[in-house]
Structure formats: structure tokens, C-alpha cells
């Protein structure tokens, strides 16, 4: 993908959509496009997560339309996505851009005003509108994203608001997506201009023994740190594993007490934060930090989120709070090598398994090695075995394929590594957590499921994955995917397919000899007919339980609760 033009990237993006449609015909093309794009932005840190849910309806003389939504972990930010798909790199007119953003704003307005009361209950669209309405009083910001495979020429977007809630609008067109996907990095860099945020920061330079990094010690005003988090959100903590694993938007009691009762002692009580950057600009006199480029907070995510929470949610005065900070400026080419170590050692006062560092952890590196070494059995008369390709880093499959110059080499690669047998870190988490009988965790969404898997399964493993672990993981993938297709075939167009699938498979784990079943699935590379019949029989009963959500009747929220899993376990069914 490196060096691609926008037109070439548009073709690549369309191929990704086609690939997923080929793997699972239950998706609409537009929704698959949104799914592909949101994965780039989630990995970038721009989005925390996204629940894909398309809805369109009239709104006065206009309309309302969205393609998905997400509410931040702290409940303050509502994200809405709207899509314009099918442009194939062509320019999207200005009025079309503004119109689609307005449609999403119309939807938000309708949700605020209780539009769900006029909708069909027990549908994903109803759940979306009801959830937004229920949480409306907590929102401090609305972000609207336009995803498009076309080009946009707008330099800026008008500021909007909905009542007293500011609305920030973002355009992700084919050119911006191309830059993100081909940058060789997982996130667009953040630049902090201290001069525009209250003034440059005096510092103490620390002379190091290596010439590949520089260290600066400084003190950051609490309000400035909160403002940085307000502007960039969780993306500022992208390399800080605790941003996801612990912070969750909750305020640490000790921090909160200090902020409220003794703010002047915050500097004395707090250990401070560790920051990395790839570039620094000093003031003309050289005695203060004017700007940092490619900024990440690698330790101190709890401190940062707590200050932001106190300021925005509790109206706390941060004017007396000062936060000690160590800033390490590293060479860009060493970022992926040094930053995980800085983060690991900065967090060494707490127990953190190195596997928590996600794609670069030994666990995931070993899983990648196994996927390249182990061959799956040839089936359906095929004369060649094949690999199940574990994509440890986004875009890895395409990069490895593109390295092969000749067409015969690429055809051989495709034969040995079929696209349909490619899976990612979040896929692995979904499959494994389903078989760990955690369907309520899977229902939290891809990113939250992945991080729960990291904490509770991966980090607690004794040793690295071995051959049998990988074969079992592939068998879980086959089981889950074929069960999903069977459920979709029996209930075409029905909602909550992902939830029904994970709950059905999790319940089947209780009823079957899974060791023998997974071995059989690996050898045959498919589910046995009697297993598919069991999936169909049980899934009908599971769907009834999921749709019978107590209280508010919000099926999406009900599926996230352990009580929902207990209700599915109580189903009187014997079918295996």
C-alpha cells in the first residue's frame, strides 16, 4: 500500500469490501465500507469503537441518516457516523458533504426529543435511538464523522451546536484515509502547541548517554493537560495500555480528593506523567518548550483522564494544579522499539504483563509465527494445504502480497494464504472469548472485547501459544463463522446477528465435548451437519431470550450483561 495514489487506494478499499462480502454475504455493501474504515480509525485512536447501525427516515423537509454510533466510556462524547459510498475516488460536491453532516445532526436532535417512542421496538435502530436519548444529559460533546470513498475539497467545516452541546465535524475522505493507511504508523500524529495553549513551558534538559533520544523535565498546568485531553481524547493515550485497561473514564478517588480539597499539593502527591514525542520546538531563547510533535502520554493516563473528568463533569478549578512531566523525544524510526519499553518501565510500579502491549507482545508475535508455519488440511479435493493468515498488524496481508513482484508468485501466495482465511487480533479475541463462555463480553464491541481478552486471558497465560493453541483458535474461527452463516440463513434480515451468534456458540460449548469437536473441525475445516442443525435449533431459543430484555427493553444493553448470559444458560434445550 505504500506509495499508492488516492485512486489506487480507492481500488484497494473496494477490494477489502468485496473480500468481506465474499466471506459473509449477510452484510450490505455500505455497512461493510463503514466497518473497514472504522477499523482504521479505531486502530488510529480517533474512534474508541463503533456500533454499525444504519438508519434513515424523513425529518421535516429534510431527512435524518446515520450509519453507526458510539458513546465514550466516560459517557461524555456521542459519536455519529454518516457515509457516502460509491464515489470511487471522485470529488464529492460541497453541498453533498454539508447535507450528509446535517442529516446526522437531525438524527441526534430527534433522539434527544424521544424519537425512539415512535419506532419499532426490539430492533437495533430502536436501541440506538433509545440509548442516545437515555444518555443525552451526560453528553458534553457530539462528534459527527463523514466516511467517504470520494474526495472532498472543503478546508474547514462550520462550527455547530445542539442546544448547549458543541458539535465537532470530521471528514474522512479517500485521500485522508490513504494517508493514514500508508503512513506506516498506526495513528495520525498529535502536535501540541504550548504557545497557543497558554504559553511555552520552562524545562530542565537531561543529558543522556545515547544520541537516539533526549529527555526534558517540566511541569504542566492541570488545566492545560485537561484541555489536551478534551481536544484529542483517548487518542492522546493510544500507546498507554492503561487508557483502556483501567481508566474507563472513572475518577480515582485519591486523585479526586486532592483535586477538590488540596489542589496546591497535587504536585507533591502525584508521580506525574511520562510523555513521548518525535519532535520538539523550543522558543527563540531556547529556555522553554514551544511545541511537541507526535505526542503520546505513555504513563499517567489515569491522572490525565481524572483531571479532565473533574474539570468537565464536576466543574473543578484546576488553576492551582501542576503536574510533573518527563518528556522523551525519540527518533521516529525508533518509536515502535523504544516507546513500548518506556511505557513498560514507567508502569513498573504496578503489575503489567508485557503481553498487554498488544500487537508487539510476545504472544501476538508467536501467534503470527505459528500462522505462517502451520498448514491447514486440504479439503474439497484441493491439492495444496493452506495457511490461516494472522494479521498481527493492520495491512500486513496486503504488504506481504505486494512484495511479490511476479503474477505467478502472487497467485502462489493467494493459493497458500486465501483471503478468506485471514483474521485479526480483534477476531481472535471474539472467537476465544465466545468459547470462554463470555458472550456478554463479546457483545461489548470489538475493542472492549479485545482488551478484556488481553487482561483476563492473554496476560494470565502460562507461556506462549503453541501449535495446538493455534489449531484450536482456527477451529473456533471456523465454528463461529459457519454458525453465523447458518443463523443468518435461517433468519434473513433479522437484527442482532452478532449477539445471537456469540450467545448460541457459547451455550453450545456447555453441551459438547469441545476438545474432540475442535479437533474434528480443524481436520475437516468445517462444521459437521449435526452441529449446524444444533446451531439452528438453539439459536431460535437464544434469540427469544435476547429479545425479551427486561426493564427498558434495550436489547443491545441487555446483551452486555452477565444476567443475559445466565438467562441463556437457563434455556431448557438438549439438542446435541
- Residues 479-500 have pLDDT tens digits of 999 999 999 999 887 889 999 9
pLDDT on residue 576: 61
- Helical (H) or strand (E) element with 216: strand 213-221
Lookup: cell for 1: 500500500
**Domain with 203 in it:** 191-352
- Partner residues linked to 277 by β-bridges: 329
Tell whether the model's pLDDT for residue 522 goes beyond 80.
yes
Lookup: cell for 191: 502536535
The residues, any chain, with a CB within 8 Å of residue 554's CB and separated by 6 or more, are 127, 130, 131
Looking at the structure, do residues 178 and 195 belong to the same domain, yes or no? Answer: no
**For residue 492, is it within any domain?**
yes
Question: 381: exposed, middle or buried (C-beta count within 10 Å: 0-12, 13-18, 19+)?
Answer: exposed
The answer to whether the beta carbons of residues 10 and 174 sit under 8 Å apart is yes
Looking at the structure, do residues 174 and 203 belong to the same domain, yes or no? Answer: no
- Write out the DSSP string of 325-345: EEEEEE-GGGHHHHHHHHHHH
Nearest CA to 227 out of 257, 253, 194 is that of 194
Q: How far is CA 430 from CA 20, 138, 165, 439, in A?
A: 17, 30, 35, 9
pLDDT on residue 243: 39
Helices (H), 378-445: 396-402, 407-416, 425-435, 439-442
Looking at the structure, do residues 273 and 334 belong to the same domain, yes or no? Answer: yes
Looking at the structure, do residues 94 and 138 belong to the same domain, yes or no? Answer: yes
Of the pLDDT bands very low, low, confident and very high (cuts 50, 70, 90), residue 346 is low
- Write out the DSSP string of 151-215: B---S----EEETTEEEEEEEE-HHHHHHHHHSSSSSPPPEEEGGGGTS-EEEEEE--S-SSEEE
Looking at the structure, do residues 170 and 195 belong to the same domain, yes or no? Answer: no
Looking at the structure of the chain, the number of domains it has is 3
Of 292, 325, 352, at which residue does a domain stop?
352
Of the pLDDT bands very low, low, confident and very high (cuts 50, 70, 90), residue 352 is very low
Question: By three-state DSSP, how is residue 391 classified?
Answer: strand
Looking at the structure, do residues 253 and 196 belong to the same domain, yes or no? Answer: yes
Rama region for 189: left / alpha / beta (φ>0; ψ in -120 to 50; rest): beta
Lookup: cell for 149: 470513498
* Backbone phi, psi, residue 249, to 5°: 80, 0
Poorest-confidence range of 10-19, 130-139, 427-436? 10-19
pLDDT on residue 339: 65
Sign of CA dihedral 194, 187, 78, 305: negative
The residues, any chain, with a CB within 8 Å of residue 55's CB and separated by 6 or more, are 64, 65, 66, 107, 125, 128, 129
**For residue 1, is it within any domain?**
no
Of 296, 326, 352, at which residue does a domain stop?
352
Buried b (16+ CB within 10 A) or exposed e, 330-348: beeeebbebbbebbbebbe
Question: 443: exposed, middle or buried (C-beta count within 10 Å: 0-12, 13-18, 19+)?
Answer: buried
Looking at the structure, do residues 277 and 416 belong to the same domain, yes or no? Answer: no
pLDDT on residue 356: 39
186 or 140, greater pLDDT = 140
Taking residue 53's Cβ as centre, other Cβ atoms within 10 Å add up to: 20
Looking at the structure, do residues 200 and 177 belong to the same domain, yes or no? Answer: no
- Residues 199-228 have pLDDT tens digits of 899 999 886 656 778 889 999 999 999 988
**For residue 359, is it within any domain?**
no
**For residue 36, is it within any domain?**
yes
**For residue 386, is it within any domain?**
yes
Tell whether the model's pLDDT for residue 560 goes beyond 70.
yes
Looking at the structure, do residues 464 and 531 belong to the same domain, yes or no? Answer: yes
Looking at the structure, do residues 241 and 328 belong to the same domain, yes or no? Answer: yes
**For residue 358, is it within any domain?**
no
Residue with cell 500486513: 396
- Residues 69-95 have pLDDT tens digits of 999 887 889 999 999 999 888 899 999
Looking at the structure, do residues 527 and 378 belong to the same domain, yes or no? Answer: yes
The answer to whether the beta carbons of residues 1 and 400 sit under 8 Å apart is no
**For residue 227, is it within any domain?**
yes
**Most trustworthy range by pLDDT among 10-19, 105-114, 252-261:** 105-114
Looking at the structure, do residues 484 and 551 belong to the same domain, yes or no? Answer: yes
pLDDT on residue 225: 92
**For residue 361, is it within any domain?**
no
Of 307, 327, 352, at which residue does a domain stop?
352
Amino acid at each position: 500500500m505504500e506509495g499508492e495514489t488516492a485512486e489506487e487506494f480507492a481500488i484497494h478499499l473496494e477490494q477489502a469490501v468485496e473480500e468481506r462480502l465474499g466471506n459473509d454475504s449477510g452484510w450490505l455493501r455500505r455497512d461493510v465500507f463503514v466497518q473497514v474504515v472504522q477499523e482504521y480509525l479505531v486502530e488510529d485512536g480517533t474512534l474508541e469503537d463503533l456500533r454499525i447501525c444504519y438508519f434513515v427516515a424523513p425529518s421535516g423537509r429534510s431527512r435524518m441518516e446515520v450509519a453507526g454510533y458510539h458513546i465514550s466510556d466516560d459517557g461524555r462524547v456521542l459519536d455519529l457516523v454518516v457515509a457516502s459510498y460509491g464515489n470511487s475516488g471522485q470529488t464529492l460536491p460541497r453541498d453533498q458533504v454539508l447535507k450528509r453532516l446535517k442529516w446526522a445532526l437531525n438524527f441526534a436532535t430527534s433522539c434527544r426529543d424521544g424519537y425512539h417512542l415512535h419506532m419499532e421496538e426490539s430492533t437495533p435502530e430502536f436501541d440506538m435511538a433509545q440509548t442516545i436519548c437515555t444518555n443525552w444529559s451526560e453528553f458534553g460533546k457530539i462528534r459527527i464523522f463523514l466516511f467517504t470513498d470520494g474526495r472532498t475539497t472543503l478546508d474547514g467545516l462550520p462550527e455547530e451546536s445542539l442546544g448547549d452541546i458543541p458539535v465537532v465535524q470530521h471528514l474522512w475522505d479517500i485521500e485522508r484515509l490513504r494517508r493514514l493507511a500508508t503512513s506506516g504508523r498506526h495513528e495520525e500524529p498529535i502536535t501540541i502547541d504550548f504557545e497557543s495553549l497558554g504559553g511555552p513551558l520552562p524545562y530542565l534538559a537531561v543529558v543522556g548517554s545515547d544520541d537516539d533520544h533526549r529527555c526534558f523535565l517540566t511541569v504542566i498546568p492541570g488545566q492545560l493537560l485537561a484541555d489536551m485531553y478534551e481536544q484529542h481524547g483517548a487518542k492522546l493515550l493510544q500507546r498507554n495500555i492503561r487508557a483502556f485497561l483501567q481508566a474507563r473514564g472513572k475518577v480515582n478517588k485519591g486523585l479526586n480528593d486532592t483535586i477538590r480539597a488540596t489542589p496546591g499539593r497535587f504536585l507533591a502527591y502525584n508521580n506525574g506523567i511520562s510523555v513521548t514525542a518525535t519532535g520538539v520546538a523550543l522558543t527563540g531563547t531556547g529556555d522553554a518548550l514551544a511545541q511537541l510533535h507526535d505526542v503520546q502520554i505513555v504513563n499517567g493516563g489515569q491522572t490525565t483522564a481524572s483531571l479532565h473528568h473533574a474539570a468537565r463533569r464536576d466543574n473543578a478549578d484546576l488553576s492551582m494544579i501542576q503536574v510533573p512531566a518527563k518528556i522523551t523525544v525519540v527518533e521516529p524510526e525508533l518509536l515502535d522499539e523504544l516507546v513500548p519499553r518506556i511505557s513498560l518501565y514507567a508502569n513498573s510500579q504496578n503489575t503489567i504483563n508485557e503481553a498487554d502491549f498488544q500487537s508487539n507482545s510476545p504472544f501476538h508475535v508467536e501467534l503470527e509465527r505459528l500462522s505462517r508455519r502451520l498448514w491447514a488440511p486440504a479439503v474439497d479435493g484441493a491439492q495444496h494445504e493452506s495457511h490461516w493468515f494472522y494479521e498481527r498488524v493492520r495491512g500486513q496481508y496486503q504488504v506481504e502480497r505486494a512484495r511479490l513482484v511476479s503474477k505467478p508468485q502472487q497467485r502462489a501466495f493467494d493459493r497458500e494464504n486465501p483471503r478468506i482465511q485471514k483474521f485479526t487480533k480483534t477476531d481472535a479475541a471474539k472467537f476465544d472469548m465466545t468459547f470462554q463462555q463470555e458472550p456478554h463480553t463479546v457483545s461489548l464491541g470489538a475493542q472492549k472485547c479485545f482488551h478484556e481478552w488481553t487482561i483476563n486471558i492473554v496476560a494470565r497465560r502460562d507461556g506462549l501459544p503453541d501449535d495446538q493453541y493455534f489449531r484450536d483458535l482456527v477451529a473456533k474461527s471456523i465454528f463461529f463463522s459457519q454458525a453465523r452463516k447458518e443463523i443468518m440463513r435461517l433468519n434473513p434480515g433479522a437484527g442482532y446477528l452478532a449477539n445471537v451468534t456469540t450467545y448460541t456458540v457459547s451455550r453450545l460449548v456447555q453441551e459438547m465435548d469441545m476438545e474432540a469437536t475442535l479437533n474434528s473441525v480443524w481436520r475437516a475445516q468445517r462444521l459437521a451437519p449435526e452441529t449446524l442443525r444444533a446451531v439452528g435449533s438453539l439459536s431460535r431459543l437464544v434469540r427469544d431470550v435476547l429479545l425479551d430484555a427486561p426493564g427498558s427493553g434495550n436489547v443491545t444493553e441487555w446483551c452486555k450483561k452477565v444476567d443475559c448470559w445466565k438467562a441463556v444458560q437457563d434455556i431448557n434445550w438438549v439438542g446435541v
